[in-house]
């Protein structure tokens, strides 16, 4: 797998960290699934379905984190309901 020297990508350490993580994630996916995102066997609806499932997982991870926050770290459930009603 090709890895670029991330210190040369940007003068920003955060950007460099994210680039490195993308490269690692790509390598992991190729090893696990045997394909890249260049694959041609999926149509637009398939890609949308994959993204929808990924976003659903992300919402679950966020909800889990919310439930583990100490009361002083997060807002109350009532505040969350009030915020969503404003939208």
> Would you state the pLDDT for residue 4?
55
Tens digit of each residue's pLDDT (9 = 90 or more) over 29-40: 999 999 999 999
CA–CA distance, 64 with 84 (Å, rounded to integer):
18
Taking a C-beta distance cutoff of 8 angstroms, is the pair 6, 20 a contact? yes
pTM of the model: 0.64
Mean pLDDT of the chain: 85
Q: Where are the domains of the chain?
A: 1-38, 40-70
CA–CA distance, 11 with 71 (Å, rounded to integer):
38
User: Could you tell me the pLDDT band of residue 85, with boundaries at 50, 70 and 90?
Assistant: confident
């Amino acid at each position: 797998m090709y890895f670029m020297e991330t210190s040369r990508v940007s003068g920003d350490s955060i950007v460099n960290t994210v680039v490195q993580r993308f490269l690692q994630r790509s390598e992991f996916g190729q090893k696990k699934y045997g394909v890249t995102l260049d694959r041609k066997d999926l149509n637009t609806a398939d890609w949308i379905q994959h993204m929808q499932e990924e976003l659903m997982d992300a919402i679950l991870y966020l909800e889990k984190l919310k439930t583990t926050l100490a009361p002083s770290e997060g807002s109350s459930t009532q505040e969350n309901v009030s915020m969503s009603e404003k939208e």
